[in-house]
C-alpha cells in the first residue's frame, strides 16, 4: 500500500489488485500484520478514502468564477441565445421539482448559477426575471412550510448554506410583466421561423410562471403575513387570510394549459450532448452541479435523485392536478383555509398530523395550528342540507 502511495502520490488510483495480493500474506483469521491496527481504523480509512464521504478528495472546477467573469467582463452570459435560456428555464423547474422531492436546496436550485447572484445577470431581462421569480417562489414556500410546521427534513429540505435574497411579490410581478411584454413585442417584429418558435416557447414559459404565482397568491397568505407570524405578532392583530378558490382554479387551468405547450416545445431549447446527463445540467453555461459541493455535510444525501427536465415537469403536473382535486372537492359553503382542511378528504381532522398524498407541496393548503389567521372552521349550521 505504501508503494502505491509513493508511486501515485495523492492521485486517486484503483489498488484493488494490490490490496488482494497483500491480503494473501495474512494467515486465516488474521486481520492485519500489526497489532496496533484495529477494525475501527480500517473503517475510518475506508470512509476517508471514499470521495462520497469527503468531497475534498474530488477535484472540481468551480464554474461560478468563470460565470462571474463572463457576466461582468465579457458579458457573454448576458447574450445567451434564446435556445439556452429556454433550456435554463426547463432545468430550473426540474431542480424545483427535485427540491420538493426531498433533495437539498444547495444541490438542486442553487446549482443554477443565476440563483447564486441574480444581480450579476440583471441586464438580461429573461435570466433575471427567471432568477428573481424562482427565489421569491422558493422563499414563499419555505416560509409557509416553517410557519405551518407541516414538513419534516425527509419531506422537504429547508436548510441552505446560501444567503437567499428576498424579492417582493410586486417586484417579481413587474419583472414578469415586462419580460412577457418584451417577448410579445419581439414576436411582432421580423424574425426567422426558428427565432419565432424559440421566442414563442420562451413566452409560454413565462406565462406559465406568472399564472403559477398568481394561483398561489389566491391560495396562500402573503410573505408579509408569514413574516408577521414568525416575528411573534399576535394572530388576533393579523387579518385572516381568505383563499379565493375560484380565481385559484382559473389560474390552475391556465397553468395546465401552458404546461402542455411547454412539453410540446421542449425541443426548442438546447439539448444535452449524448454523453451528458440531463438531470445534472452541467452542459448549460448557467449550471454547475459542483457549485456547493465544498460545503456538503453529512445531512446531504450521498446519491442525489435528481429529475430530468421531462421528469421535473411530470412532477409539477402531478402536483398541480393534486391541488386541482383539492380545489374541486371543496364545497361552495367553505370560505376559509381551515374549512378546506376540515372538508378535504385527504386530511384527518382528528389527528395533529396532516395525511396528505404528496409529502411536500400539497401541505401548503394550511396548518391545523393556525386557526386564527386562516379563518375559523365553517359552522355546521351553515352547511347546506342534502
What pLDDT was estimated at residue 383? 46
- The answer to whether the CB of 86 falls within 8 A of the CB of 205 is yes
Q: Distance (Å, rounded) from C-alpha 145 to C-alpha 133?
A: 18
Instruction: Considering only CA atoms, give the Rg of the chain.
Output: 25
The torsion of the CA quartet 133, 70, 67, 312, rounded to 10 degrees, works out to 50
40 or 197: which carries more pLDDT confidence? 197
What pLDDT was estimated at residue 343? 59
pLDDT-above-70 percentage for the chain: 63
What pLDDT was estimated at residue 189? 92
What pLDDT was estimated at residue 117? 83
- The answer to whether the CB of 220 falls within 8 A of the CB of 140 is yes
Average pLDDT, the chain: 76
378 or 295: which carries more pLDDT confidence? 295
What pLDDT was estimated at residue 373? 40
pLDDT, one tens digit per residue, over 179-192 is 999 999 999 999 99
Residue 352 predicted with pLDDT over 90: no
pLDDT, one tens digit per residue, over 96-113 is 999 988 888 888 998 898
Q: Distance (Å, rounded) from C-alpha 58 to C-alpha 21?
A: 27
Q: Which residue has the cell 496496533?
A: 36
Q: Distance (Å, rounded) from C-alpha 175 to C-alpha 126?
A: 9
In sequence order, the β-bridge partners of residue 112 are: 287
Amino acid at each position: 500500500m505504501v508503494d502505491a502511495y509513493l508511486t501515485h502520490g495523492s492521485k486517486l488510483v484503483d489498488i484493488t489488485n494490490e490490496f488482494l495480493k497483500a491480503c494473501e500474506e495474512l494467515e486465516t483469521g488474521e486481520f492485519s500484520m500489526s497489532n496496533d491496527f484495529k477494525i475501527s481504523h480500517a473503517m475510518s480509512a475506508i470512509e476517508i478514502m471514499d470521495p462520497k464521504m469527503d468531497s475534498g478528495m474530488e477535484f472540481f472546477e468551480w464554474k461560478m468564477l468563470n460565470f462571474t467573469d463572463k457576466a461582468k467582463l465579457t458579458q457573454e452570459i448576458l447574450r445567451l441565445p434564446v435556445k439556452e435560456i429556454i433550456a435554463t428555464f426547463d432545468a430550473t423547474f426540474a431542480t424545483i421539482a427535485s427540491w420538493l422531492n426531498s433533495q437539498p436546496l444547495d444541490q438542486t436550485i442553487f446549482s443554477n448559477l443565476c440563483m447564486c447572484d441574480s444581480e450579476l445577470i440583471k441586464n438580461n431581462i429573461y435570466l433575471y426575471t427567471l432568477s428573481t421569480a424562482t427565489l421569491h417562489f422558493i422563499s414563499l414556500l419555505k416560509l409557509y412550510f416553517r410557519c405551518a410546521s407541516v414538513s419534516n427534513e425527509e419531506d422537504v429540505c429547508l436548510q441552505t448554506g446560501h444567503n437567499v435574497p428576498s424579492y417582493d411579490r410586486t417586484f417579481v410581478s413587474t419583472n414578469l410583466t415586462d419580460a412577457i411584454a418584451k417577448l410579445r413585442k419581439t414576436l411582432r417584429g421580423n424574425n426567422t421561423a426558428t427565432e419565432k418558435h424559440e421566442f414563442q416557447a420562451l413566452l409560454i414559459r413565462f406565462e406559465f410562471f406568472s399564472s403559477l404565482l398568481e394561483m398561489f397568491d389566491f391560495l396562500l397568505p402573503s410573505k408579509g403575513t408569514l413574516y408577521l407570524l414568525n416575528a411573534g405578532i399576535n394572530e388576533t392583530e393579523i387579518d385572516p387570510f381568505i383563499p379565493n378558490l375560484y380565481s385559484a382554479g382559473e389560474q390552475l387551468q391556465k397553468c395546465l394549459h401552458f404546461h402542455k405547450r411547454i412539453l410540446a416545445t421542449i425541443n426548442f431549447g438546447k439539448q444535452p450532448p449524448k454523453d451528458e446527463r440531463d438531470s445534472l445540467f452541467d452542459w448549460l453555461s448557467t449550471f454547475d452541479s459542483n457549485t456547493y459541493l465544498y460545503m456538503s455535510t453529512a445531512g446531504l444525501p450521498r446519491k442525489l435523485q435528481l429529475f430530468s427536465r421531462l421528469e421535473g415537469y411530470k412532477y409539477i403536473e402531478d402536483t398541480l392536478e393534486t391541488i386541482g382535486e383539492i380545489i374541486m372537492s371543496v364545497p361552495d359553503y367553505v370560505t376559509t383555509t381551515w374549512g378546506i382542511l376540515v372538508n378535504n378528504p385527504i386530511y384527518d381532522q382528528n389527528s395533529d398530523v396532516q395525511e396528505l398524498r404528496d409529502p411536500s407541496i400539497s401541505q401548503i393548503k394550511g396548518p391545523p395550528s393556525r386557526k386564527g389567521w386562516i379563518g375559523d372552521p365553517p359552522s355546521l349550521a351553515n352547511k347546506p342540507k342534502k
